[in-house]
Structure 1
Amino acid sequence: MTTAEHVDVLIVGAGLSGVGAACRLQERLPGKTYAILEARDTIGGTWDLFRYPGIRSDSDMFTLGYPFRPWKDPKAIADGPSILAYVRETAAAHDIERHIRFGHRVVSASWSSADAVWTVSTAHGVTFTCRFLYLCSGYYSYENGHVVDFPGGDEFAGDIVHPQHWPDELDYDGKQVVVIGSGATAVTLVPAMAPRAARVTMLQRSPSYIVARPGRDALADRIRALLPEKLAHRVVRGKNVVLGTFFFQLLRRLPDRASLALRKRVAAQLPASIPVDPHFVPDYHPWDQRLCLVPDADLFQALRSGKADIVTDRISRFTVSGVLLESGRELPADVIVTATGLRLVAFGGIALTVDGRTIEPGEQRAYKGMMFGGIPNLAWCVGYTNNSWTLRADLTSQYVCRLLQYLDRRGFVSCTPDVASASSAGRPRPIVDLASGYIKRAAPGLPKQGERRPWMMRQNYLLDLADMRLNRLDDGVMRFGRAEERVAAPSQP
């Protein structure tokens, strides 16, 4: 019988978050053993999986990048290949790859309080054990995105493509393309495909708020020219955090004025043939859903060029030659791209048990947005929805390191948020507090947050920074266990 490989910390996922977690673990706890289990055969996660035209970040790289590794590229809003290269260069610089077990998709993990150990199984039947399990695979499915079964799909004579599985051989040169969707993926695809296609039409059921900003940060360029590299990175990162937090709060507190201002900015960049209403007037307030960023106003440039247009209507069915709308209009198409959203899953779809008790993700309460009541020695790394993902991911990784150091100093073997205290944190709310369709669809199966700390997940980096770095670990909610004690695993309320 093969002996399971044992490590102190097991990280799931070798993407942006997993590589960052490994770097922090090596930096703060060099004596700890660890491994990274990666389902795919390469480093990069999201930035290797998604390969559709124009793939890019909608966050600036000074905050999406790691605080310990300055972003050197002049582009503040970077394309996918540049981000992928940055993640892989970081992994190489910190010698992370030798810790990665590629092709190991985790399917289950079980905690034993008697042994204070997680036993983790992969799809190929390989088993690992660890003292602490750190899930860094995000919260959307790598298997497939959200697919809508449009009537007539089997009749359409052209290609139907979902952006999550973009075929390398797809030829759209000189062809009519319809992109279905109004989110970040759609507004990226339209200007990226327009130069080669005959025409690209963005077909949306309802519009989103769209914000244009320069692809380069002129102030950041000046700061980087004046200050040493690491200091400049910290200054620019801090600037962007403060400005991002300020504008988010401003838009949330003055939604009507913010909505009007955003629409006016869009109107100024549209050709006369495309009206703001109905194409750019959402029926919700700014930041009820995530804003769509278009660097260097490339979407509006494509619309002004005549190579792209936008249609707001509902789909009746696909036809042999295109898309028939409820209004009776038919959009001709050779290629249809269904940018209809992601499919979210909790814990990477891993089946969890604690002392034989099955963990249902949708019934869990999140402690500080990263751990869960009644589940020992496990953390889940997720980012912000209103700011760069990595800002929160890195705080979580630093907190995990603090927690592991505390366990070692005090002679503890386990740490478990007290599930009983969650009942006093107010009514349960979705952990991802946005009204987007893909989030609403997934909400029943995702963990919940409360209305008060530490069971509330704040979307505020500055407040979280103080909390994660300065507040006591033994806060009266976190329970610690020694080797001779059995860790309690009470039933979820």
Structure 2
Amino acid sequence: MALAARVPAPDSAAAEHFDVVIVGAGISGVGGAYHLKQQCPGTRFVVLETKDTFGGTWVTHKYPGIRSDSDLYTFGYRFKPWTGAPIATAAEILTYMGEVIEENALGEHIRYRHKIESAAWSGKDALWTLSVRRADTGETFQITTNFLWMCQGYYNHDKGYTPEWPGMASYKGRLVHPQTWPQDLDYKGKTVLVIGSGATAATLVPAIAGDCAHVTLLQRSPTYFIPAQNINELADMLRALEVDETWIHEITRRKVLHDQAEFTRRAVEDTAAVTQELLAGVRAFLDEDTVVRHFTPRYRPWRQRIAFVPNGDLFQGVASGKASVVTDEIETFTEKGVRLKSGQEIEADIIVTATGFNLNVLGDIAFTIDDKPLEFSNTVTYRGMMFTGVPNMVWVFGYFRASWTLRADLIGDFVCRLLNHMKAKGASRVEVRLRPEDRDMPLLPFIDEENFNPGYLMRGMHLLPKRGDKPEWQHTQDYWRERKELPAIDLDDPAFVYG
């Protein structure tokens, strides 16, 4: 993994100034830096990253087996061909990102171990003033910028979500969360209980099953998975024909996106058939009773994210007897494990709570707008990336049903186009405001829970901005519309107010 060079921190007490500050050096921030260099030459910018390296979620999570839950032909950047297997390990993704940084000389723009503690907008000066603390020295200093590009993600990287179950203090074994996986955790020959039913649990169980005495997956309710070989036949065929990798990347990417669009449509319009297709994939590995009891969800496909299970490894672990699945709810923790509401007791040397994460809005940065604290939940979102009353700022929030990076690339184009438009107009500030025809528009939660309703989103919905009932005032979560709509945004629409 190529490590990026560090931008030297300012030596003087005076605030250093940048045209743009990108917050976070994960998949969105690195992509944003690339787009700025390509589309806004001469822009002075810096990427501020809290951690000591790039990668975001791929360095935060260190649990065994960590891998992507969507294909790298679409999770990879559109400008950098992916040449490996569709589902990639964290190490492979980090190597790919390191190559992007090195090939495009982005390292000189990144500062690691720099945490933004507060961000204050001054309308008088049309500037953001950031209070930044260096994690290694504890030094605090100021940076000013014309524009903030928030690429820090949407969850708390420091602490995952673990419910408060009765009796947790009485448990004598080791209790861990995958997000803060202890590097000294020895699970060889131990009994392990993994609580959860999402992509993390489905990744972790087969990764440790071979070394544990036994691993049990405990889920409150089943979820959908897509078990399949970790190959892309189209890409492999094109490689056999010696087609250029750039062409392979684009052709395969388009085919994957076409198939995903069709799958999403059918999940809504032909729910019963799609459900049976998904369950048939599990039946290829497990008996009917196990499928009915433990892998038949109560909700329609795509109301929550569907993880890809390479080669059905989770189900192979269950079929082999190295892993087992229990669907029940926890009544209480005990000294040796947990007691379920059914009365069953599960003993475990180690309990892993793969129960999700805590939603984090704008990186826990204390924002003020002209000395008034920003109440993010009181704003209205413009296409899930700008917010009423918040000048000169764009936030990257990806897709639930498609790869995150697809939207990061689209927003990269939008930000660069907006910055160039402001320059052409001689404008130093821009914000979005409801137009007269929008004033009586119903204001609704950020995401429609009938459309998508994972637990982390439902727990944190009150922290997020409101949406309207018009496409431009919501995050539609529809890549297939946005890939045409975002590039066509009229930057002189009355929703944009320049100054």
- Is 2:70–2:307's contact at 8 Å kept on the other side of the alignment? no
Gaps of 5+ in 1: 482-493
Deviation at 1:142, TM superposition (A): 0.9
- Which structure 2 residues correspond to residues 188-337 of structure 1 after superposition, within 5 A? 188-226=203-241, 227-271=243-287, 275-337=290-352
Mark the CA change 1:372 to 1:224 in structure 2 (over 3 Å): closer, same or farther: farther
Residue by residue, what CA displacement relative to the aligned partner does 1:320-377 show, whole Å, maximum 9, x if unpaired?
2222111111112111100111101111111212122321122221102111112111
Q: Does 1:372 align with 2:387?
A: yes
Q: Which amino acid aligns with 2:407?
A: R
The equivalent residue for 1:132 is 147
Moved more, 104-113 or 383-392: 104-113
- Is 2:445–2:461's contact at 8 Å kept on the other side of the alignment? no
Deviation at 1:155, TM superposition (A): 2.4
Gaps of 5+ in 2: 1-11, 134-138
Q: Distance in 2 between matches of 1:432 and 1:392?
A: 19
**RMSD, aligned CA:** 1.6
Deviation at 1:122, TM superposition (A): 2.0
Deviation at 1:464, TM superposition (A): 0.9
Secondary structure, aligned partner of 2:158:
coil
Q: Distance in 1 between matches of 2:441 and 2:34?
A: 34
Secondary structure, aligned partner of 1:105:
strand
Moved more, 160-169 or 107-116: 107-116
Mark the CA change 1:95 to 1:424 in structure 2 (over 3 Å): closer, same or farther: farther
Q: Distance in 1 between matches of 2:474 and 2:39?
A: 27
The equivalent residue for 2:21 is 10
Q: Distance in 2 between matches of 1:378 and 1:456?
A: 16
Q: Distance in 2 between matches of 1:110 and 1:454?
A: 27
The equivalent residue for 2:487 is 469
Q: Which amino acid aligns with 1:41?
A: D
- Is 1:374–1:419's contact at 8 Å kept on the other side of the alignment? no
Q: Distance in 1 between matches of 2:441 and 2:277?
A: 36
Secondary structure, aligned partner of 1:275:
helix
The two structures have a TM-score, normalised by structure 2, of 0.93
The equivalent residue for 1:94 is 104
Secondary structure, aligned partner of 1:110:
strand
Q: Distance in 1 between matches of 2:330 and 2:111?
A: 44
- Is 1:158–1:336's contact at 8 Å kept on the other side of the alignment? yes
- Is 2:173–2:350's contact at 8 Å kept on the other side of the alignment? yes
The equivalent residue for 1:23 is 34
Deviation at 1:402, TM superposition (A): 0.4
Secondary structure, aligned partner of 1:294:
strand
Deviation at 1:448, TM superposition (A): 2.4
Secondary structure, aligned partner of 2:247:
helix
- Which structure 2 residues correspond to residues 5-154 of structure 1 after superposition, within 5 A? 5-73=16-84, 75-123=85-133, 124-154=139-169
Q: Distance in 1 between matches of 2:380 and 2:268?
A: 25
Q: Distance in 1 between matches of 2:441 and 2:152?
A: 27
Deviation at 1:278, TM superposition (A): 2.5
- Is 2:410–2:486's contact at 8 Å kept on the other side of the alignment? yes
The equivalent residue for 2:462 is 444
- Is 1:50–1:164's contact at 8 Å kept on the other side of the alignment? yes
- Is 2:435–2:494's contact at 8 Å kept on the other side of the alignment? no
- Which structure 2 residues correspond to residues 371-450 of structure 1 after superposition, within 5 A? 371-419=386-434, 423-431=439-447, 434-450=452-468
Deviation at 1:432, TM superposition (A): 7.3
The two structures have a TM-score, normalised by structure 1, of 0.94
- Is 1:7–1:129's contact at 8 Å kept on the other side of the alignment? yes
- Is 1:431–1:446's contact at 8 Å kept on the other side of the alignment? no
Secondary structure, aligned partner of 2:351:
strand
- Is 1:383–1:392's contact at 8 Å kept on the other side of the alignment? yes
Moved more, 59-68 or 260-269: 260-269
Q: Distance in 1 between matches of 2:271 and 2:323?
A: 30
Moved more, 130-139 or 458-467: 458-467
Q: Distance in 2 between matches of 1:254 and 1:125?
A: 56
Deviation at 1:420, TM superposition (A): 5.0
Q: Distance in 2 between matches of 1:271 and 1:465?
A: 42
Q: Distance in 2 between matches of 1:398 and 1:248?
A: 25
- Is 1:14–1:38's contact at 8 Å kept on the other side of the alignment? yes
- Is 1:426–1:452's contact at 8 Å kept on the other side of the alignment? no
Q: Distance in 1 between matches of 2:188 and 2:182?
A: 14
Mark the CA change 1:200 to 1:423 in structure 2 (over 3 Å): closer, same or farther: farther
Residue by residue, what CA displacement relative to the aligned partner does 1:430-488 show, whole Å, maximum 9, x if unpaired?
2475211111001001122222121021222232111222332112211111xxxxxxx
- Is 2:13–2:141's contact at 8 Å kept on the other side of the alignment? no
Deviation at 1:425, TM superposition (A): 4.1
Deviation at 1:424, TM superposition (A): 4.3
Q: Distance in 2 between matches of 1:115 and 1:387?
A: 39
Residue by residue, what CA displacement relative to the aligned partner does 1:220-244 show, whole Å, maximum 9, x if unpaired?
2112333211121111111111111
Q: Distance in 2 between matches of 1:53 and 1:103?
A: 25
Q: Which amino acid aligns with 2:95?
A: A
Residue by residue, what CA displacement relative to the aligned partner does 1:76-106 show, whole Å, maximum 9, x if unpaired?
1111111111112211211212211211111
Secondary structure, aligned partner of 1:310:
strand
Mark the CA change 1:140 to 1:235 in structure 2 (over 3 Å): closer, same or farther: same
- Is 1:316–1:326's contact at 8 Å kept on the other side of the alignment? yes
Q: Distance in 1 between matches of 2:372 and 2:337?
A: 51
Q: Distance in 1 between matches of 2:296 and 2:280?
A: 10
The equivalent residue for 1:488 is none
Deviation at 1:396, TM superposition (A): 0.5
The equivalent residue for 2:9 is none
The equivalent residue for 1:175 is 190
Deviation at 1:259, TM superposition (A): 2.3
